[in-house]
A = this chain, B = another copy of it.
């Protein structure tokens, strides 16, 4: 679906991103080919981003490309999949000049190298609206071994990797609403780190898993729903960065502040359930437990709280 000029630009901007993968046909074909990998299933995810909704207006083009890849890799990380390829659809807005498009492609290229993926195809179009793009990311898992959201069982413990809440505070920092010494919080928001390092651990021990993109409360609720169990979440156990802990101390209503940290999303950590007998893996924090029943019970500041929808806040 490319015009003639577009065809030349696709070649110049994006062919290097195929990284020599034969199945990309140098982006000269209508489609890409992915050969089978014996003993493996293909895992596929697809997330979209819109300027002014998922990243601030005026964001640097290379960071847009990198964040687009990273949010998709975060989904594959939670599934314990090994990413290898992606497809890109991007709608360039009127003001997005050649140099911006080049920078977007360079940013994406840098992270494809970092994470070992090849761009196999996609589409570039024009839009009278804001910058919009979607990425389809593909990974491998050993056959039948994808970690689902639906495997949590009564008795399991709920654990989360890294820190929670830096995503939503990072957005506050980017928008100048809070002080962010050293820019750590804004960096976390702009530049998520997909937890691909957790693959072996998740495959070995996790009964269910999701990435924390919508907010811990929402993502844990999804696990409860998909698994047909009840989950009890204790926000007093939330692992916090120094920046988030400092912010929390200054809040008048600690329970409300904890709910906010667990509702904001954009953390791109992994929340998972593990059987109670399994030793807590390094870097994980126990934040709850699974029982029979349904839905989510949340405690904060030592008492039950109503987390509302616990949804995800856009920019």
Contact = CB atoms under 8 A, between A and B. Distances in A.
A33 B45 CA distance: 9
B123 A48 contact: yes
Contacts of A3: 214, 218, 309, 311-312, 314
A107 interface: no
A137 to B, nearest CB: 8
A206 interface: no
Given A41-B36, A128-B53, A130-B128, A136 B28 contact: no
Contacts of A237: none
A213 B312 CA distance: 38
A76 interface: yes
Interface string A188-225: 00000000000000000000001101100010011001
Contact of A120 (B33, B44, B54, B226): B44
Contact of A32 (B37, B44, B121): B44
A71 interface: yes
Interface in A1-38: 1-7, 25-26, 28-38
A45 B122 CA distance: 7
A1 to B, nearest CB: 5
Closest 6 CB pairs of A and B: A129-B129, A4-B309, A89-B134, A4-B311, A48-B89, A3-B311
A150 interface: yes
Given A5-B311, A125-B53, A134-B89, A41 B35 contact: yes
A7 B215 CA distance: 13
A132 interface: yes
A46 B4 contact: no
A136 B225 contact: no
Contacts of A79: 29-31
Interface stretch (A141-149, A171-179, A275-283): A141-149
B214 A1 contact: yes
Interface string A280-315: 000000000000000000000000000001111010
A256 interface: no
B25 A33 contact: no
A60 interface: no
Given A4-B311, A49-B125, 11 more contacts: A1-B47, A4-B310, A28-B222, A30-B210, A31-B45, A32-B44, A33-B44, A46-B88, A50-B125, A89-B89, A129-B132
Nearest to A44: B32
Query: Considering residues A1, A31, A47, A130, which has the most beta carbons from chain B within 10 angstroms of its beta carbon?
Result: A31
A7 B31 CA distance: 31
A166 B164 CA distance: 55
